[in-house]
Amino acid sequence: MTAPNFAFDTLAVHAGAEPDTATGARQVPIYQSTAFVFKNADHAAKLFNLEEVGFIYSRLTNPTVQALAARIAALEGAAGGIACSSGHAAQIMALFPLMQPGCNIVASSRLYGGTVTQFTHTIRRFGWSATFVDTDDLAAVEAAIDENTRALFCETIANPGGYVTDLDAMAGIADRHGIPLIVDNTTATPWLCRPMEHGATLVVHSTTKYLTGNGTVTGGAVMDSGTFDWSASGKFPALSEPEPAYHGLTFASLGAMAFTFHSIAVGLRDLGMTMNPQGAHYTLMGIETLGLRMERHVANARKVAEWLENDPRVERVTYAGLPSSPYYERSRKITPKGAGALFTVTVKGGYDACVKLVDAMKLFSHVANLGDTRSLVIHPASTTHRQLEAEQQVAAGAAPNVVRLSIGIEDADDIISDLDQALSVAMS
Ligand SMILES: *Cc1c(COP(=O)(O)O)cnc(C)c1O
């Protein structure tokens, strides 16, 4: 069911999921089993040698989780990939095969707040580091790369919204330096953008968001284009040299599946950031309606953004789908079906008005999440971006007078009415 001639919405329903060979079950069963029986000792040895592909133990692979990874790979146009326990796990899983102590990444300054924290502080404990740059300044991106840089990292539609990254330009720079471009495609989803078509090597997801779609599951995924030559530069020994922790196998010899097999046989095996089968099942069901939901998310976001832009209580709306946005033209190139459903609103009255607004919302839920069927609001400066320095907050588009909206799939007029009444309270 992964025939390449099927269109996106067909793959979203079918890819990775044949009727169950044992029972004929049409929906992907939840294989709630830790281990899988070997046919005999020879079969077991072949599986452990990667001579045969099959299931051993669910920390590494599980049929339900595997179906999810295959479906996301089909949607992203990837050669392969893995599902894992969260979006943040996916980021570590993406970097793990590339990095060693002393290595760095060059990352966009416009990223999900939690990612900025992960890259600023936590990865340092592995001996890795990140240099943050404004990805609109391509010369600065180029200048930040040194001999220890192992990847560029950016988001397609950058959290907290309204910014679209020029993926083609970023991929061009990565190519010139012989390093992969990693794109967090969480807020765009492959329905709006397939970063590999713009030159990305790896795509990471928080499947917690639009892919699952209804705020039920925490999960992540790492997808690989299969086209990067890991042996060309000597910069990626985990992939290009014999792996002592996997009986001397050189993963690059597996060709397009090198990164994926390393992620399973070493990454998931030893880091254990595994997705559970129940979670994978919910996310598979969510993806079945991804196209329908994204269409409505985008249509609603456009209506709400247009209404807000014309409201005198609002200073600025950063939706890249508005012709007034500096990223409007870029969005038409990178995300031609729409600029997503996540954007920020600068409210007159500053920090205090924002806090009042959030508390006055009735239909919108005040939560640290996005990409739910429900409309969500958050005030980044007092929550998700609280750990950042003031200038980091501004660079990330999360200044104190900014609220972030994640527009749901409810009726657009109801969404607008709720904003209308809450803005009145915020101004009072
Ligand atoms: C939520 C999010 C993450 C982190 O994902 P979790 O599933 O919460 O770990 C990373 N990047 C972006 C863009 C996100 O929205």
Identify the CATH number of the domain in which residue 333 sits: 3.90.1150.10
pLDDT tens digit string along 365-381? Answer: 999 889 999 999 999 88
pLDDT reported for residue 76: 98
**What's the 87 CA to ligand 1 centre distance in angstroms?**
5
Same domain assignment for residues 125 and 274: yes
Atom of ligand 1 nearest to the CA of 155: 13
Last residue of a domain, one of 269, 286, 303: 286
**What's the 112 CA to ligand 1 centre distance in angstroms?**
7
In the chain, the number of structural domains is 2
Same domain assignment for residues 277 and 298: no
**What's the 289 CA to ligand 1 centre distance in angstroms?**
20
Full residue range of the structural domain in which residue 67 is found: 8-286
- Which of 131-145, 175-189, 239-253, 392-406 is least confident? 392-406
- In the DSSP assignment, the letter for residue 243 is B
Q: Where are the alpha helices (DSSP H) in 337-385?
A: 350-360
**What's the 213 CA to ligand 1 centre distance in angstroms?**
13
Atom of ligand 1 nearest to the CA of 208: 7
Query: Contact at 8 Å (CB) between 227 and 201?
Result: yes
User: Can you tell me the distance from the alpha carbon of 290 to that of 207, in angstroms, rounded to the nearest whole number?
Assistant: 12
**What's the 158 CA to ligand 1 centre distance in angstroms?**
11
Each residue of 198-210: b (16+ CB within 10 Å) or e? Answer: bbbbbbbbbbbbb
Residue 13, phi-psi category: left (phi > 0), alpha (psi -120 to 50), beta (remainder): alpha
User: Can you tell me the distance from the alpha carbon of 291 to that of 420, in angstroms, rounded to the nearest whole number?
Assistant: 29
Residue with CA nearest ligand 1 atom 11? 112
User: Can you tell me the distance from the alpha carbon of 62 to that of 49, in angstroms, rounded to the nearest whole number?
Assistant: 18
Mutate which of 85, 91, 112 for ligand 1? The one with the most ligand atoms within 8 Å of its CB, which is 112
* CATH code for position 194: 3.40.640.10
Domain-located, residue 51:
yes
Last residue of a domain, one of 286, 309, 336: 286
Residue with CA nearest ligand 1 atom 5? 87
Atom of ligand 1 nearest to the CA of 186: 13
The identity of residue 50, as a single letter, is: L
Same domain assignment for residues 232 and 309: no
User: Can you tell me the distance from the alpha carbon of 68 to that of 80, in angstroms, rounded to the nearest whole number?
Assistant: 11
**What's the 369 CA to ligand 1 centre distance in angstroms?**
9
Same domain assignment for residues 208 and 180: yes
pLDDT reported for residue 1: 46
**What's the 104 CA to ligand 1 centre distance in angstroms?**
21
Same domain assignment for residues 217 and 339: no
Mutate which of 163, 206, 376 for ligand 1? The one with the most ligand atoms within 8 Å of its CB, which is 206
Last residue of a domain, one of 259, 286, 313: 286
Same domain assignment for residues 305 and 385: yes
Domain-located, residue 317:
yes
Domain-located, residue 2:
no
Is a pLDDT exceeding 60 seen at residue 2? Answer: no
Query: Contact at 8 Å (CB) between 78 and 226?
Result: yes
Domain-located, residue 3:
no
Helix, strand or coil, per DSSP, at residue 377? strand
Tokens of 15: 């890819």
The identity of residue 157, as a single letter, is: I
Tokens of 331: 């969005």
What stretch of H or E contains 84? strand 80-84
Atom of ligand 1 nearest to the CA of 90: 9
Domain-located, residue 408:
yes
User: What percent of the chain is modeled with pLDDT above 90?
Assistant: 85
| No. of helices (H) and no. of strands (E), the chain | 17, 14
Tokens of 333: 């190139």
Measured in whole angstroms, the distance separating CA 226 from the mean position of its chain's CA atoms is: 18
pLDDT reported for residue 352: 92
pLDDT reported for residue 167: 98
Distances (CA, A) of 60 to 46, 257, 271: 15, 15, 10
With a Cβ cut-off of 6 Å, ligand 1 is lined by 86-88, 112, 114-115, 155, 159, 184, 186-187, 206, 208-209, 218, 220, 370
Mean pLDDT of the residues in the chain? 95
- In the DSSP assignment, the letter for residue 363 is S
Is a pLDDT exceeding 80 seen at residue 400? Answer: yes
- 0.85 cut: is pTM over it? yes
Q: At CA 303, angle to CA 298 and CA 307, rounded to 5?
A: 145
Measured in whole angstroms, the distance separating CA 416 from the mean position of its chain's CA atoms is: 28
pLDDT tens digit string along 38-51? Answer: 999 999 998 888 88
Give residue for tokens 């079918």.
Answer: 14
User: Can you tell me the distance from the alpha carbon of 392 to that of 384, in angstroms, rounded to the nearest whole number?
Assistant: 12
Rg, Å, the chain Cα set: 22
Is a pLDDT exceeding 90 seen at residue 194? Answer: yes
Tokens of 419: 């904003």
Same domain assignment for residues 379 and 258: no
Atom of ligand 1 nearest to the CA of 369: 1
Domain-located, residue 1:
no
**What's the 245 CA to ligand 1 centre distance in angstroms?**
30
**What's the 287 CA to ligand 1 centre distance in angstroms?**
17
Same domain assignment for residues 280 and 370: no
Same domain assignment for residues 297 and 280: no
Other Cβ atoms less than 10 A from the Cβ of 324: the count is: 12
Domain-located, residue 391:
yes
Same domain assignment for residues 271 and 332: no
User: Can you tell me the distance from the alpha carbon of 167 to that of 296, in angstroms, rounded to the nearest whole number?
Assistant: 25
Query: Contact at 8 Å (CB) between 257 and 80?
Result: yes
Instruction: List beta partners, residue 57.
Output: 35
Residue with CA nearest ligand 1 atom 1? 206
Domain-located, residue 19:
yes
pLDDT reported for residue 385: 79
Same domain assignment for residues 87 and 154: yes
Same domain assignment for residues 64 and 129: yes
pLDDT reported for residue 368: 87
